[in-house]
Amino acid sequence: MTRTTDKALNVRGATKTYRTQSGEVHALKDVDLTVRQGEFISVVGPSGCGKTTLLWSIAGLHRLTSGAIALGEEWITGPHASIGMMFQEANLLPWRTIRKNIELPSEIRRIRPDEQRIDTLLRRVGLEGFGEKMPRELSGGMQQRASIVRALASDPTVLLMDEPFGALDAFTRDEMNKLVEEIWLGSRKTVILITHSIAEAVFLADKVYVMSARPGRISRVVDVPFARPRSLALMETREFFDLVNAIKHEIQQQPPAKSAVARAV
Ligand code: ADP
Ligand code: MG
């Protein structure tokens, strides 16, 4: 693995086979990925191609069958304070206030939460004054904003997002996309966004990684040429539309997924 001075994220030969009662599922095969520090990439691909498996492995939540992942000089072998994660659902504990939910990862790691940073982030995402509310008092979009704050509270180097806005309505989703770009422009975290919306992938990322169906591997990397900050009006331009369509074709041309389960011999 190449050693770099900055905190580039390196995935090398990532292979994951799940062993199930009915046989083995080859979820990832030899995935290589390098994300420079501060780069924003997105990953798209057919359902079941291993996107979540890849992201969870990077987060240290899954153990690879073979291959390795490193952040800068450090191997990722388990959950890591420099890596924050956002899921499709906000996953806020209903019996804890928003602030107590945001503090939970620090609590688990037994470190003191940075209250000032949390307040700044709450203000940043438009949730000033909502820290003492309960999750049920917030809309879906607001809950996802709170979960962005939770992911960023420990000031991670890397932010991982697994289809974070899939459950939101189109309007709220556009708002969240603008917010994510603003936060990224202000903080330059390394971001990996998984999404089933190719438009969202193109709108937000510097590069779009296209994954092929099982076993998942990277089939193509597409550079996104649009200047930043990007406005929502970009999505209505011919250039944007053409790039989204090219990626869509790339995904559609892939051979259909092999059977999910390869019988263990
Ligand atoms: P994606 O996020 O791209 O939809 P996943 O990473 O969730 O794909 O899943 C990739 C493949 O691995 C799928 O065939 C899925 O059924 C299988 N899979 C995912 N998690 C498990 C698990 N815990 N046990 C067994 N198979 C799994
Ligand atoms: Mg998934």
pLDDT in tens, 175-187: 999 999 999 999 9
Angle, helices 140-152 vs 170-187, to 10°: value is 20
The atom of ligand 1 lying closest to the CA of 50 is: 6
**Closest listed ligand to the CA of 259:** 1
So what's the pLDDT on residue 102? 96
So what's the pLDDT on residue 251? 87
pLDDT band, very low/low/confident/very high, at 4 (cuts 50, 70, 90) = very low
In the predicted structure, residue 139 carries a pLDDT above the cut 80: yes
pLDDT band, very low/low/confident/very high, at 81 (cuts 50, 70, 90) = confident
Indicate which residue's Cα is closest to atom 23 of ligand 1: 18
> Which DSSP category does 216 fall into?
B
Indicate which residue's Cα is closest to atom 13 of ligand 1: 48
So what's the pLDDT on residue 168? 87
Mutate to test the pocket of ligand 1, among 18, 21, 212 (most ligand atoms within 8 A of CB): 18
Q: Which two tokens stand for residue 148?
A: 């962005």
The predicted model gives 203-211 an average pLDDT of 96
Q: How many beta carbons lie within 10 A of that of residue 235, not counting itself?
A: 16
In the predicted structure, residue 260 carries a pLDDT above the cut 50: no
Beta strands in the chain (DSSP E): 9-20, 23-35, 40-44, 66-71, 74-75, 83-86, 158-162, 190-194, 207-212, 217-223
The span from the CA of 45 to the CA of 114, in Å, is 37
- Say how many Å lie between the CA of residue 181 and the centre of ligand 1: 29
Q: Determine whether 114 is exposed, middle or buried from the number of CB atoms within 10 Å of its CB (0-12, 13-18, 19+).
A: middle
Mutate to test the pocket of ligand 1, among 52, 209, 217, 254 (most ligand atoms within 8 A of CB): 52
The span from the CA of 111 to the CA of 105, in Å, is 9
The span from the CA of 242 to the CA of 34, in Å, is 26
- Say how many Å lie between the CA of residue 236 and the centre of ligand 2: 28
The span from the CA of 175 to the CA of 52, in Å, is 24
CB 96 within 8 Å of CB 104? yes
So what's the pLDDT on residue 255? 64
CA distances from 169 to 23, 34, 157, 174, 201 (A): 38, 32, 29, 9, 17
pLDDT band, very low/low/confident/very high, at 253 (cuts 50, 70, 90) = confident
- Say how many Å lie between the CA of residue 59 and the centre of ligand 2: 14
The atom of ligand 1 lying closest to the CA of 16 is: 12
In the predicted structure, residue 128 carries a pLDDT above the cut 80: yes
So what's the pLDDT on residue 258? 53
- Say how many Å lie between the CA of residue 65 and the centre of ligand 1: 14
So what's the pLDDT on residue 214? 74
The predicted model gives 255-259 an average pLDDT of 56
CA distances from 252 to 73, 176, 239 (A): 38, 27, 20
The atom of ligand 1 lying closest to the CA of 55 is: 6
Q: Which two tokens stand for residue 201?
A: 């992938």
In the predicted structure, residue 3 carries a pLDDT above the cut 80: no
Q: Pocket around ligand 1: residues whose beta carbon is below 6 Å from it? A: 18, 20, 25, 27, 47-53, 214, 260
So what's the pLDDT on residue 210? 95
The atom of ligand 1 lying closest to the CA of 19 is: 25
CA 112 to mean position of chain CA atoms: 25
So what's the pLDDT on residue 265? 34
pLDDT band, very low/low/confident/very high, at 262 (cuts 50, 70, 90) = very low
The span from the CA of 118 to the CA of 106, in Å, is 12
Which stretch of 7-16, 103-112, 221-230 has the lowest confidence by average pLDDT? 103-112
The span from the CA of 238 to the CA of 9, in Å, is 33
| 3-state secondary structure at position 81 | coil
In the predicted structure, residue 259 carries a pLDDT above the cut 70: no
Q: Is the peptide bond before 229 cis (omega within 30 degrees of 0)?
A: yes
The atom of ligand 1 lying closest to the CA of 260 is: 14
So what's the pLDDT on residue 66? 96
> In terms of Cα–Cα distance, which of 207, 177, 153 is closest to 35?
207
Indicate which residue's Cα is closest to atom 21 of ligand 1: 18
So what's the pLDDT on residue 264? 37
- How confident is the model over 36-69, as pLDDT tens digits? 999 999 999 998 999 999 999 999 999 999 999 9
In the predicted structure, residue 238 carries a pLDDT above the cut 50: yes
